[in-house]
């Protein structure tokens, strides 16, 4: 049973044919990352899009003047910092009822005597009711009100607001958060696709009971498994164009960087993940179980790799820990490339993931071959019998 590239090629082509015959599996490779992106976009998109946070404004001021009108105008103004507010004037009773029923989450009350107090330089309070369902939502409701009040101070209380602030951005363009997520989910898509496709190529042999035929074919099993790994690599790219395209159509931005670097990093990552995929396939022996394993492992790495937000937010300790997770290297370099167009850690990251890819190219077929010879069902039965005794 000599190792032959001819067998690798034959196994690779056979797997691609199988994929062509089962479009529902290709749809799954594309659909899961896409659903993931759509879910997060729906979840987080509300902060950035739409008419803004519906805000009940109760105007108790009987004689509104320049300050009251000014505050109302500022509350309803468009803002480049999301979320914006969508003030709806209503009476106190309606606002309170809607707030108590949870139908409105933010109520701002401008008290009677507001105009006189501000005109006469006396202190006055506006009342803000916030549905503090959870910390992040509370923050997103309170902060726009604080910002609007600060804008009011900077506009109308020039003598009181002696401190202001200035923001200096590192780069001229700020990518939209959801586009950033689409780009990082493309890396997730490659991970998930590779693990699932390679795992599925293994599990089908168990499901269709053709594993024995493979073993008896007198061909090197390593060559066969490597062929399956490479088919996983090819399939891992299936979902990526869709994600980039959708992010471009919706947000109008392409990521920075060059396609060659992207392909090099993703190819090595996919090869590493395919190695894990064929091992997972030999263990689970059922494609249904490989899907959640691949999806959840991918989500874990997506988060810890900086898919939601860059790791610099996290602090040093987590950053150092993360250095030892090989997938994070790919995320790090790709995020830097996508956002900054820079390649500061590319050499290190390419070496780390390259090393892992080569190691897994060698050891995965060997481990898989050993695992296929183990009868897990029998082992479990033996274990049960021993425990029963």
Partner 1 sequence: MLRAIAAIVKKDLKQAKRDPKFLGPSLIIPFVFLLVYTIMWTSVGGGESFACGLVVEDISPEANDMTNILENMVSTTNHTWFSIERYDLETADELYRNGELIAYIVIPEGFGANISSGQNATAVMYINNVNDDIVKNYIHRFEAAVLLFNQGAVHPDFDQSNAPIAMDESFSLAATPSNLKYMAAVAIILSLMACSLASQAMLTATEFETGALQDTLNSPASRLALVLGRTIAAIPRSLSALLISAPIICITMNVFPVGNLLILFGILLLTILALVPIGELIGMKIRNREQSLLASVLIVITGFIVGGGMAPIGLSPFSVRMIMLILPTTHSLALWSRVFFLDTILGLTTSMLYLLGTWIVMSALVIHQMKKEVEHS
Interface with partner 1 includes 4 (CB under 8 A)? no
CA–CA gap between residue 54 and residue 62 (Å, rounded): 24
Q: In the bound complex, what is the minimum distance in angstroms from residue 3's beta carbon to partner 1?
A: 34
Q: What is the dihedral of CA 345, 313, 150, 89, to 10 degrees?
A: 110
In the shown chain, the binding pattern of residues 122 to 161 toward partner 1, with x for contact by CB under 8 A and - for none, equals -xxxxxxxxxxxxxxxxxxxxxxxxx-xx-xx---x-xxx
* Minimum gap (Å) between residue 363 Cβ and partner 1: 27
Reported residue count of the chain is 389
Q: Which of 66, 89, 303, 348 binds partner 1 (CB under 8 A)?
A: 303
Under a CB-based contact definition with an 8 Å cutoff, are residues 253 and 338 in contact?
no
Interaction of residue 25 with partner 1, rule CB under 8 A: no
Which residue, 221 or 257, is less far from partner 1 as judged by CB?
257
Task: Please report how close the Cβ of residue 34 comes to partner 1 at its closest, in angstroms.
Answer: 12
Q: Is 312 in the site for partner 1 (CB under 8 A)?
A: yes
Angle at 119 between CA 113 and CA 120, to 5 degrees: 90
Nearer to partner 1, 220 or 333 (CB): 333
Nearer to partner 1, 16 or 149 (CB): 149
For partner 1, give the closer residue by CB, 23 or 315: 315
Question: Binding partner 1 by CB under 8 A: which of 21, 23, 51, 249?
Answer: 51
| Virtual torsion, Cα 53, 59, 60, 61, nearest 10 deg | 140
Give the rounded distance of the alpha carbon of 102 from its chain centre: 29
Residue with tokens 């890396």: 187
Distance CA 333, CA 114 (A): 54
User: What residues contact residue 349 under an 8 Å CB cut-off, 6+ apart?
Assistant: 265, 329, 330, 332, 333
Question: Which window, 193-201, 224-232, 316-324, 379-387, contacts partner 1 (CB under 8 A)?
Answer: 316-324
Phi, psi of 55 (to 5 degrees): -125, 120
Q: Choose one: 170-178, 208-216, 323-331, 357-365; the region binding partner 1 (CB under 8 A).
A: 170-178
Among 70, 76, 113, 319, binds partner 1 (CB under 8 A): 319
């Amino acid at each position: 049973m000599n190792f032959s590239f001819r067998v690798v090629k034959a196994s690779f082509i056979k797997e691609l044919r199988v994929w062509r015959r089962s479009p529902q599996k290709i749809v799954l490779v594309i659909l899961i990352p896409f659903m993931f992106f759509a879910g997060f976009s729906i979840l987080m998109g509300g902060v950035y899009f739409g008419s803004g946070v519906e805000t009940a404004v109760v105007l108790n001021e009987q004689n509104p003047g320049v300050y009251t009108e000014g505050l109302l105008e500022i509350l309803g103004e468009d803002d480049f910092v999301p979320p914006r507010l969508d003030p709806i004037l209503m009476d106190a009773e309606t606002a309170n009822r809607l707030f108590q029923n949870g139908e409105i989450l933010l109520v701002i009350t401008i008290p009677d005597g507001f105009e006189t107090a501000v005109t006469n330089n006396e202190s006055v309070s506006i009342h803000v009711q916030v549905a503090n369902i959870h910390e992040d939502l509370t923050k997103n409701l309170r902060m726009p009100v604080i910002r609007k009040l600060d804008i009011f101070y900077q506009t109308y209380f020039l003598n009181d607001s002696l401190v202001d602030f200035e923001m200096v951005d590192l780069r001229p363009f700020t990518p939209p958060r959801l586009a950033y997520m689409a780009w990082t989910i493309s890396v997730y898509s490659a991970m998930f696709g590779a693990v699932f496709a390679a795992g599925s190529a293994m599990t089908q042999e168990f499901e269709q009971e053709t594993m024995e035929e493979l073993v008896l074919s007198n061909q090197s099993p390593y060559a066969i498994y490597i062929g399956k790994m490479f088919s996983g690599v090819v399939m891992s790219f299936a979902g990526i164009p869709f994600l980039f395209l959708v992010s471009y159509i919706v947000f109008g931005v392409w990521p920075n960087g060059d396609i060659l670097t992207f392909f090099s990093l993703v190819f090595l990552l996919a090869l590493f993940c395919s190695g894990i995929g064929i091992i997972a396939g030999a263990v689970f022996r059922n494609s249904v179980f490989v899907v959640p394993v691949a999806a959840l492992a991918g989500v874990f790495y997506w988060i810890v790799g900086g898919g939601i937000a860059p790791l610099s937010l996290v602090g040093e300790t987590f950053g150092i820990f993360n250095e030892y997770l090989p997938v994070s290297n790919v995320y790090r370099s790709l995020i830097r490339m996508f956002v900054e167009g820079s390649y500061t850690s590319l050499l290190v990251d390419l070496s780390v993931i390259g090393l892992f890819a080569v190691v897994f190219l060698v050891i995965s077929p060997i481990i898989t071959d050993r695992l296929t010879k183990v009868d897990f069902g029998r082992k479990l039965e033996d274990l049960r019998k021993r425990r029963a005794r």
